[in-house]
Amino acid sequence: MVDSKHAMQHLDEVKPRFVVNEAVEQVAYADRIILNKIDLVSEDELDKLTKRIMHINVMAPIKLAKYGSVDMDFVLGVGGYDLERINSEVLADNSCHGKHQHNIAQGHHEKHHHDHVHDTTVSSVSIVFEGTVDLDEVDDWLERLVEEKGEDLYRMKGILSVTGSNQCYIFQGVHSTLDGCPGKAWEPDEKRINKLVFIGRNLDETALRKGFRGCLA
């Protein structure tokens, strides 16, 4: 649950080098986000806060609330391997990708005028490729990624189209822990698309795309 009145203050708090901003980290790990006390902020403030949170964590659906009142189904209905949820998370990231880049630039612009540094090092990156992948190659790539970026790689989720399988493959990970399982069967006329989302610090989108492209069959 996020206090809409004071959240930006905590998200913008400048930390010493190599010290994690706890508020940013909590948003990055969240499966569900409730923006509480929305009656205490203006529409413009709420819009800026929502965009800031989406830049950090595009996976988590956001619910607006007053006095902490929210449907319990929203809080409890967290499905780690829910295919539709993962699919919507990746699609949401792609639809907002350009907006995220604009907000980053806007944050730097404000820094020059107000001498205030926003922590924009934590962000979301999505990857979408058509075709099929070699699952062993994906496993090796993700293992190398975890070894190199484990501490900075907060979360990842994805849907894979695996060569020789009529089922999609779903995976998710937190730091150095990775899990996966077969999902539903692809429909005969369904376009087989690989969709992945990463949340972390100082993510190199170009390197991530290049690494995954090397797993395509």
Where exactly are the structural domains of the chain? 2-114, 122-213
In three-state secondary structure terms, 79 is coil
Query: Which architecture does CATH list for 2-114?
Result: 3-Layer(aba) Sandwich (3.40)
17/81: higher pLDDT: 17
DSSP-derived secondary structure for 38-72 = GGGS-HHHHHHHHHHHHHH-SSS-EEE-STT---H
Q: How far is CA 170 from CA 156, 159, 160, 185, in A?
A: 11, 5, 6, 12
Amino acid identity, position 92? A
The pLDDT assigned to 87 comes to: 60
Which of 96-100, 173-177, 184-188, 196-200 shows the lowest per-residue confidence on average (mean pLDDT)?
Answer: 96-100
> In the CATH hierarchy, which fold is given to the domain comprising 122-213?
Hypothetical Protein Yjia; Chain: A;domain 2 (3.30.1220)
Looking at residues 46-62, what average pLDDT do you find?
88
The pLDDT assigned to 85 comes to: 59
Q: Which residues pair with 130 in a beta bridge?
A: 193
Determine contact, residues 126/93, Cβ cutoff 8 Å: yes
For residue range 102-130, list pLDDT tens digits in order.
232 333 333 333 343 445 588 888 899 99
Domains 2-114 and 122-213 in one fold: no
Reported confidence tier of residue 214, pLDDT bands at 50, 70, 90:
very high
The pLDDT assigned to 135 comes to: 95
